Structure 1
Amino acid sequence: MGIGQMLKIACAGVIASVAVASAAGAQQGGDYGTYGGAYLDWLSPLAISSYEWPFKHGPISVIAPGANGAVQTYTLVPCQDGAAVCSGSAIGAVSVDGLTTVVSGLYGRTFYLGMGGHGVIDAGGVQSVLAWDTQGNGPNR
Structure 2
Amino acid sequence: MDSLPIANLLVSSLSALSSMVQAYNSSKVTKEDASKAEQRLDKPLKRGGAKVSQKIDGKLLSALSEKAEAEARKLIELVNMAEDPSSLELPMREASNRICFYLQQIKHHNDDVLPTKRLNDFWQSHRCVDMDVCNDR
* TM-score, normalised by the number of residues in structure 2: 0.26
Larger Rg over CA atoms: 1
Q: Which has the higher contact order (CA 8 A, sep 6+)?
A: 2
